[in-house]
Amino acid sequence: MSKVRKGPYRASRAAAPKNSDPYIGSARGRATIERNIPDVTISRLPAYLRVLHELQSEGETIVSSSKMGTLTGFSSEQIRKDLAYFGAFGTRGLGYNIELLEDRICEILGLDRPVQMALVGCGNIGQALVRYSREEHRHLDIRYLFDVDEELVGREIAGLRVMHSDDLESVISEKGIRLAVLAVPASAARDVGQRLVDAGVRAILNFAPIHLPVAREVVVRTVDLTSELESLAYYARDPRPDDEEGPAIP
């Protein structure tokens, strides 16, 4: 049986059962991970993983790309194209083995083992992220916390002690941390972001509303909550008389 670990997803299976797809977990499948996979494809894999986990928890064993499309909002063609980057999956006319596909996507994303992370900035957003991660996503393990606020340094959040940001480089380098969350004010984000990169971090989730000019090989995903809400305000506004008149004619 698969080894169960903390968090919503299981550890990757050591070996595929008989009659399973020969490419799942094979050398051919693993080799495709090294190819230049589009970022947008990688960004959709967690949605597929979430759906597969939900289906398995409901007792399902097989799922079609059409049903996955309905549950994720992506087309069945898009799902098949995304999965094809990583090898052959499923059986024509039957669908995908849910357990095997879930294990394979975990392996592709590196979630077949806990991923240790650092978080810099232990304000309201940072503390919420730590508690949520520790309770709901143990496979993404926020293990090291940093801040410059003397009132926060030394405190415990969800069982983790907050360290001073002066220790950031030494801890991240020593522990081999490659993934970090940045939840500091915009005025400090660029400096702290570069310090993370210099210490060895290769992927950053940035909550500061500012662009981080880091090296091309470093992946940065920015979540700007204020900008998202401001853009949504357009769709929530009351209709105006000129909205019904159509575009102005020069």
One-character DSSP codes across the chain: -PPP-SSSSPPPPSSPPTTS-TTTTSHHHHHGGGS---HHHHHHHHHHHHHHHHHHHTT--EE-HHHHHHHHSS-HHHHHHHHHTT---SBTTTBEEHHHHHHHHHHHHTTTS-EEEEEE--SHHHHHHHHHHHHH-TTEEEEEEEES-TTTTT-EETTEEEEEGGGHHHHHHHHT--EEEE-S-HHHHHHHHHHHHHHT--EEEE-SSS-----TTSEEEE--HHHHHHHHHHHHSPP-GGGGS-SPP-
Could you tell me which residues come within 8 angstroms of residue 235 by beta carbon, excluding any fewer than 6 positions away? Answer: none
Q: Which residue has the higher pLDDT, 137 or 129?
A: 129
Instruction: Give the pLDDT of residue 246.
Output: 54
Is it the case that residue 68 has pLDDT exceeding 90? yes
Say if residue 163's pLDDT is above 60: yes
Q: Are strands 160-164 and 140-147 parallel, antiparallel or unpaired?
A: parallel
Q: Would you list the domain boundaries of the chain?
A: 27-109, 115-231
- What are 190-213's pLDDT values in tens digits? 999 999 999 999 999 999 999 999
Q: Do domains 27-109 and 115-231 have the same CATH topology?
A: no
Q: Is the pLDDT score of 116 beyond 70?
A: yes
- Rank 13-27, 138-152, 161-175, 221-235 by mean pLDDT and report only the highest: 161-175
Residue 37: pLDDT band with limits 50, 70, 90? confident
Q: What confidence score (pLDDT) does residue 83 get? A: 93
CATH number of the domain at 115-231, please? 3.40.50.720
Partnered with residue 180 across adjacent β-strands are: 118, 204
- Position 119 scores a pLDDT of 98
Q: How confident is the model at residue 4 (pLDDT cuts 50, 70, 90)?
A: very low
Please provide the CATH number assigned to the domain covering 27-109: 1.10.10.10
**Residue 93 pLDDT:** 73
What's the pTM? 0.76
* pLDDT of 107 strictly over 50: yes
Please provide the average confidence, as pLDDT, over all residues in the chain.
Answer: 84
Residue 223 to residues 119, 123, 199: CA-CA distances in angstroms? 15, 16, 22
Confidence of residue 160 (pLDDT cuts 50, 70, 90): very high
Q: How confident is the model at residue 87 (pLDDT cuts 50, 70, 90)?
A: confident
Given this model, what pLDDT does residue 238 score?
82
- Residue 138: its pLDDT value, please? 63
Overall average pLDDT of the 159-182 stretch: 97
Higher-pLDDT residue of 54, 89: 54
The structure tokens listed for 93 are 């006319």
